[in-house]
Amino acid sequence: MKKIFPGLILLTILGLVTLSFEGVDGTYELSDYTPDDTLTFVVPEGWPQPLYDFDKNPLTKNGIALGRKLFYDDMLSRDSTVSCAFCHLSYTNFTHIDHKLSHGIEDRIGTRNTLSIMNLAWYNTFMWDGGITNLDVQPLAPLTSFFEMDMDPDELITRLESSSEYPKLFKQAFGKDADVSGYYMFRAMSQFILTLNTYNSKYDKVMRKEAGATFTEREQKGLEVFRAKCASCHKEPLFTDGTFRNNGLAVDTNLNDGGRIKITRNIDDSLKFKVPSLRNIEVSYPYMHDGRYKSLQMILFHYSNGITDSKTLDPALKKGLNMGEDDKRNLIIFLKTLTDISFIRNKAHADPNRY
Ligand code: HEC
Ligand code: HEC
């Protein structure tokens, strides 16, 4: 660590000096923290209640700001090259579009396509196989994964404690007794992640009957095809029903990813993966758990002509989804109405060092 951060020792000394000076001086005020500073999580009209327990981790401005800073900090990876945002880029719906499979430190290639991060308050299972059931511990997986950030959690806490900024930010977010710890770090990250909500696409505006928002004829026809063929799994308004299913992808024999069976050890779950949300799907290619498809055209070809049968194939897909060329075209036009520019261009979600 000393080799990697020659300046860190100096920063540490400066940081400590400032803190103790302020402490002794009595000017070290934590005025920014007040327990009443809690923000209310907005549930869009007509949406289900979120599953995240906000009572256990109330959102505050300082908590969110700390989480955002951590999310964009390269220091969270062993060689300080990869932040969470390295793979989860705000302008591509918090996923990585340059790589089929996740791409971590030292160009290590993982085994799955990066998932988008959005509307996660409405989930209680995370990852393609649902292997994680609590958002507040989710970051431990990428942090410690050999292929992603390859970081030792104790070393991370040491780094944060030694930084000139973090100790103060933790106190500002969680109170004067809050030391730098995994407990608070994960809570702050959840708080930031819980602000990444997308519900202002054209689709949403039309559904809310906002003035001037109407579908074109093709978009409307596409919605009808969607409701007939896709919505049983990609359920509105989240565009997922939160289940795990086998949608008929041929097994990639290099990766041999069994999906949900890895977690449940139940043979009936073989080749089942999370039904992903389709919000902002236009910008979050490549698609599927292994990033095998680059375009929405390829996706529709898969559902109409490319389904591979197997014991766990979803019954809804046994015969493939018959769609004519016009249906397909309209469906793609509809899917693009799920793009929420205000979400992907939101500066409050972007790198705090730039905005
Ligand atoms: C090297 C790329 C990479 C980095 C760095 C990375 N992730 Fe991920 N992230 C992924 C991949 C790949 C998945 C899907 C993993 C799986 O299903 O096995 C994922 C999944 C997730 C999910 C679950 C989303 C869902 O819908 O279930 C969350 C939340 C998440 N990451 C947050 C983070 C946070 C927070 C960090 C930083 C501590 C981070 N990620 C760092 C690649 C990355
Ligand atoms: C039986 C349930 C089911 C039906 C019906 C279904 N899907 Fe899916 N969809 C899934 C599952 C499961 C996945 C993830 C599979 C994987 O990666 O292994 C998926 C993945 C996708 C993806 C990739 C998303 C991403 O972020 O990688 C797109 C796009 C998609 N579906 C669109 C559609 C469209 C359009 C239809 C209708 C023509 C449809 N789906 C019908 C279950 C379904």
In a domain, 240, yes or no: yes
**Residues 207, 240 within the same domain:** yes
> Residue 224: is it exposed, middle or buried by C-beta count within 10 angstroms (0-12/13-18/19+)?
middle
Domain for residue 349, yes or no? no
Task: Indicate whether 3 belongs to any domain.
Answer: no
Q: Where does a domain end: 165, 198, 231?
A: 198
Query: pLDDT at position 285, please?
Result: 94
Helix (H, G, I), strand (E, B) or coil at 2: coil
To test ligand 1's pocket by mutation, which of 75, 119, 138 has the most ligand atoms within 8 angstroms of CB? 138
Judge residue 329's burial from the number of C-beta atoms within 10 Å of its C-beta, 0-12 exposed, 13-18 middle, 19 or more buried: middle
CA of 189 to the centre of ligand 1 (A): 12
Q: Is 185 in the pocket of ligand 1 (CB under 6 A)?
A: no
In a domain, 355, yes or no: no
Ligand approaching nearest to the C-alpha of 143: 1
Q: Is 312 in the pocket of ligand 2 (CB under 6 A)?
A: no
Ligand 1 close to Cβ of residue 276 (< 6 A): no
Q: Identify the domain boundary among 182, 198, 214.
A: 198
Q: What value does the mean pLDDT of the chain take?
A: 89
Q: Do 165 and 304 have their domain in common?
A: no
Quote the pTM value. Answer: 0.91
The answer, yes or no, to whether any atom of ligand 1 lies below 6 A from the CB of 317, is: no
Distance 195 CA to ligand 2 centre (A): 25
Residue 181 and residue 254 in one domain: no
Digit-coded pLDDT (tens) for 50-64: 999 999 999 999 999
Indicate whether 23 pLDDT > 50: no
- Ligand 1 mean position, distance from CA 87 (Å): 8
Whether 184 and 269 map to the same domain: the answer is: no
Number of the ligand closest to the Cα of 112: 1
Mean pLDDT, residues 27-55 taken together: 78
Residues 163 and 49 in one domain: yes
Mutate to test the pocket of ligand 1, among 89, 148, 189, 273 (most ligand atoms within 8 A of CB): 148
Ligand 2 pocket check for 281: Cβ under 6 Å = yes
Residues 183 and 47 in one domain: yes
How far, in Å, are 108, 235, 244, 301 from residue 240 at the CA level?
A: 30, 5, 10, 20
Write out pLDDT tens, residues 230-242. 999 999 999 999 9
Structure confidence at residue 36 (pLDDT): 62
Residues 191, 70, single domain; the answer is: yes
Residue 350 belongs to a domain: no
Nearest ligand 2 atom, CA 316:
1
Pocket-testing residue among 51, 119, 120, 127, ligand 1, by greatest number of atoms within 8 A of Cβ: 127
Query: Residue 174 maps to which CATH number?
Result: 1.10.760.10
Q: Where are the alpha helices (DSSP H) in the chain?
A: 8-25, 61-71, 84-87, 140-144, 153-162, 166-174, 182-193, 202-207, 217-229, 261-264, 296-305, 325-335, 341-344
Same domain, 272 and 142: no
Closest ligand by atom to 95 CA = 1
Whether residues 98 and 246 share a domain: the answer is no
Check pocket membership of 338 for ligand 2, CB cut-off 6 A: no
Residue 132 is assigned to a structural domain of this protein? yes
Q: Which of 198, 229, 254 is where one domain is finished?
A: 198
CA of 158 relative to ligand 1 center, distance in Å: 23
Q: Using N-to-C axis directions, what is the helix angle for 325-335 and 217-229, rounded to 10°?
A: 100
C-alpha 213 – ligand 1 centre gap (Å): 34
In this predicted structure, the answer to whether residue 78 has a pLDDT above a threshold of 80 is yes
CA atoms within 13 A on the CB side of 300: 21
Q: Is the pLDDT of residue 169 over 80?
A: yes
Write out pLDDT tens, residues 204-219. Answer: 999 999 999 999 999 9
Indicate whether 102 and 178 sit together in one domain. Answer: yes
Residues 116 and 146 placed together within one structural domain of the fold: yes
pLDDT of residue 97: 81
- If you measure from the C-alpha of residue 23 to the centroid of ligand 1, how many angstroms do you get, rounded to a whole number? 38
247 alpha carbon – ligand 2 mean position (Å): 7
Nearest ligand, measured from the Cα of 114: 1
Q: Are 113 and 231 part of one and the same domain?
A: no
How many distinct structural domains can be found in the chain? 2
Structural domain that includes position 106: 8-198
Examine residue 233 and state whether it is found in any structural domain, yes or no.
Answer: yes
Answer yes or no: is 347 within a domain.
no
Q: Does 305 have pLDDT greater than 70?
A: yes
Q: Could you identify the atom of ligand 1 that is nearest to the CA of residue 117?
A: 24
Residue with tokens 């036009």: 333
Q: Which of 194, 165, 166, 182 is nearest to 58 (CA)?
A: 194
pLDDT of residue 66: 95
| Mean per-residue pLDDT, 91-119 | 89
Distance 70 CA to ligand 1 centre (A): 14
